[in-house]
Chains A and B, each alone.
Chain A
Amino acid sequence: MAVGVKVMKRPGSATSYVRATLKGMALTFRHLFQPKVTMQYPEEKSTEDWTISSRWRGTHRMLTDEQGRSKCVACGLCPQICPANCIKLVPGEDEQGNRYPLIYEIDEFRCVFCGYCQEVCPEEAIHVGVHYENSEYSRDRFVYDLERLCAQTHPVSTLWDPSDPRGE
């Protein structure tokens, strides 16, 4: 004998599938003509419904001063705090005793985009960027050196502000 299955007694309207089927067909037919939600990506990068968040943490950007030099003073806080250990910093010093980075490289493949480097930077020099299009032909191109970091033009992340958690 087949295994007994408890079958609930339900009113006809709940067990009717002829009506349910027709209802479903009507629903899908209505959806044929409803506005579509697709964002046609390379042409459209934001729509009314969606823009990238200003808190987005993407590949880095180093800000520069008026002379075009990087704002970095090679204090060493960012490689110190970096949980992924992706920042390589070799400090140098000029004749006036100003510290500057001799080598400043970020391996974007190691980076976990936590944004700590931006948070910790006393000079507001290194930032994570609002940027997500990063294709390259080789892996080494993902190690960004200082020159490349300074040359980035995308907007920088506002990060999350604990005093304004909802970004208002």
Chain B
Amino acid sequence: MTFFLVSSIAKVVVVFTAILVTVALTTLVERRICAFIQDRLGPNRVGPQGLLQPAADGLKSLLKEETLPVRADKALFLLAPAISFTPALLTFAVIPFAAPLPTRWGDVPMVVADLPVGFLYILAISSLGVYGVTLAGWSSNNKYALLGGLRASAQMISYEIAMGMSTVAVLLLAGNVTLSRVIAQQQAGGWYVLSLLLAFFIFLVSAFAETNRVPFDLPEAEGELIAGYHTEYSAMKFSMFYIAEYANMLTASALMATLFFGGWDIPFTSWDNGPPWTLAKTLATGAVFCVKTACFMFLYIWVRWTLPRFRYDQLMALGWKVLLPLALVYLTVLATAVWYLKEQLGWAYGPAFGWALFGLNAVLAGLLFWWLDRGRIVSGSVARAEGEV
């Protein structure tokens, strides 16, 4: 019991620190990658290569004036940043980030809380984030903030469905919602990104929408809403929204790595998969997990500085008319395939199983992209003029 408490507290402290440091660094990395994409250098003055820029930004945030709009709902206005900040940090608790660490007193699983309901917990907590955003928008008593908050709630609720549906595919295949079991399955039979390619695609798109990142950053669309729900926020309260956004990104990246890219599994080797656990295994798998997560973070940033923002109706059309039906149809097809392979052919999940599903997915993905590539979504949502189709 003492061992559990001590190890858990140690893990909480380490993970908390790691998330905040990563978030701080990501703000810098985002600015530098953005600059590189635009043929600039970006912030490189504070410390070597600008590494201390986040510290300078943080200090600035702490010292700036805290503004409070006169007509704002004071209690909610003060509470909103905390409400969006906390779930962003909480979600990381169930994501396993390395192979178990052996100690003198027993193995420590490298996950803050290996909840049996793992994935459901993430869905539950991450939907709480929308409260922070909506309350921030509402309590500011500002039309732009309110519009931003409304958009955020509509968008996050819409895409949560598609996101949930896409992960049902994962759970269907894994037969379990515990993330450590999901990883173990992938170690045994190949990463789910191959066998569940389309689910990954849906999840990726929904995750972008869930984290309010470009091309789905309508809640804070600068051009139309100034800064959306955090228009009225300044100093540290604004920073908390900012940190929450990046922490959400980090969690989503880690989640994609976990659900579809084998979590801390090192590809092309089974050396890391089972006991006896060693410190080297923990470190190596931890590093691999970081690399996978970093790749998705880079993808987030890369997409942000490439794509323009969706129009609001396009966003809704994509969520409800494309992703949701797609996820449902896909789930049906996949469930049938899994049933056929498991029950009729009697296969257990393994490489052959994975490749068979990959074949199916490749065909489906080909069809989907062929269909998507005919001017859907972007042009289709307004009624066409009379006599035209």
Question: Within the assembled complex, what's the spacing in Å between the Cα atoms of A4 and B302?
Answer: 36
Q: How many angstroms from the CA of A37 to the CA of B284 in the assembled complex? A: 39
User: Cβ of A28 and Cβ of B305 under 8 Å apart?
Assistant: yes
Range class of the A interface residue count: 20 to 34
Instruction: List the A residue with the shortest CB-CB distance to B313.
Output: A2
Question: Residue A12 at the B interface, CB < 8 A?
Answer: yes
Interface of B is mostly: loop
B104: Cβ under 8 A from any A Cβ: no
Name A22-40 residues within 8 Å CB distance of B.
24-25, 27-29, 31-38, 40
Q: Are B384 and A21 in contact (CB under 8 A)?
A: no
Which residues in chain B, 35-85, are within 8 Å of chain A measured between CB atoms? Answer: 35-41
CB within 8 Å for A40 and B41 given contacts A24-B307, A31-B36: yes
Distance to closest chain B CB from A63 (angstroms): 38
With an 8 A cutoff between CB atoms, is A99 at the interface?
no
B302 x A25 contact (CB < 8 A): yes
Contact status A4-B373, CB under 8 Å = no
The contact of A5 among B33, B38, B385, by CB within 8 Å, is B385
Asked if B388 is an interface residue, CB under 8 A from chain A, the answer is yes
Contacts of B306 in A (CB 8 A): 21, 24-25, 27-28
Q: With the chains together, A136 CA to B231 CA distance in Å?
A: 36
Shortest Cβ distance from A48 into chain B, in angstroms? 15
Q: In the complex the two chains form, is B33's CB within 8 Å of A12's CB?
A: no
Tell me, in angstroms, the Cα distance from A98 to B41 when the chains sit together.
57
Contact of B373 among A5, A16, A25, A37 (CB under 8 A): A16
Across the interface, do B386 and A25 meet the contact criterion of CB distance under 8 Å? Answer: no
Contact among A7, A21, A37 with B385 in the assembled complex (CB-CB below 8 Å): A7
Given A7-B388, A32-B36, A37-B39, decide whether A18 and B383 contact each other with a Cβ distance below 8 A: no
- A15 on the interface (CB 8 Å rule)? yes
Query: Which residue of B38, B41, B373, B383 contacts A12 across the interface (Cβ within 8 Å)?
Result: B373
- B302 partner residues in chain A, CB cutoff 8 A: 25, 28-29
For the residues of A in contact with B, the DSSP-based class is loop
Q: How far is the CB of B58 from chain A (nearest CB, A)?
A: 25
Q: Which single residue of chain B is at the shortest CB-CB distance from A30?
A: B37
Q: How many residues from B make CB contacts under 8 Å with A?
A: 27
- Contact among B33, B41, B305, B369 for A38, CB-based, below 8 A: B41
Partner of A36, one of B41, B307, B379, B388: B41
B373 surroundings in chain A (CB, below 8 A): 12, 16-19
Closest CB in chain B relative to A11 CB, distance in Å: 10
Nearest-neighbour CB distance to chain B for A32, whole angstroms, equals 5
In the complex, are the beta carbons of A31 and B41 less than 8 A apart?
Answer: no
**B5 within 8 Å of A by Cβ?**
no
B303 is an interface residue with CB less than 8 A from chain A: yes
Interface centre among B302, B375, B386 (most CB of A within 10 A): B375
Within the complex, which residue of A7, A15, A16, A24 is in contact with B384, where a contact is CB–CB below 8 Å?
A7
Could you tell me if A1 and B385 are in contact, using CB atoms closer than 8 angstroms? no
Q: For the complex formed, measure the closest distance between the CB of B308 and the CB atoms of chain A, giving whole angstroms.
A: 9
Asked if B108 is at the interface of the complex by the 8 Å CB criterion, the answer is: no
CB contacts (< 8 Å) of B372 on chain A: these are: 18
A6 at interface by CB-CB < 8 Å: yes
- Cβ contact within 8 Å between A37 and B36: no
- Determine which of A19, A29, A33, A36 lies in contact with B40 in the assembled complex, contact meaning CB atoms within 8 Å: A36
Q: How far is the CA of A17 from the CA of B307 in the complex (A)?
A: 11
Asked if B382 lies at the interface with its beta carbon under 8 angstroms from chain A, I say yes
Interface residues of B (CB under 8 A from A): 33, 35-41, 302-303, 305-307, 369, 372-375, 377-379, 382-386, 388
A sample of 18 cross-chain residue pairs with beta-carbon separation below 8 angstroms, ordered by A number, consists of: A6-B385, A6-B388, A7-B379, A7-B384, A12-B373, A15-B374, A15-B379, A16-B373, A17-B377, A18-B369, A18-B373, A19-B373, A24-B307, A28-B302, A33-B36, A34-B39, A36-B40, A37-B39
Question: Which A-B residue pairs are the 8 nearest by beta carbons?
Answer: A15-B375, A4-B385, A2-B383, A38-B41, A18-B373, A28-B306, A5-B382, A6-B385
Contacts A4-B384, A28-B305, A40-B41 known; 9 new A-B pairs at CB < 8 A: A1-B383, A2-B383, A6-B388, A15-B378, A19-B373, A25-B303, A28-B302, A31-B38, A36-B36
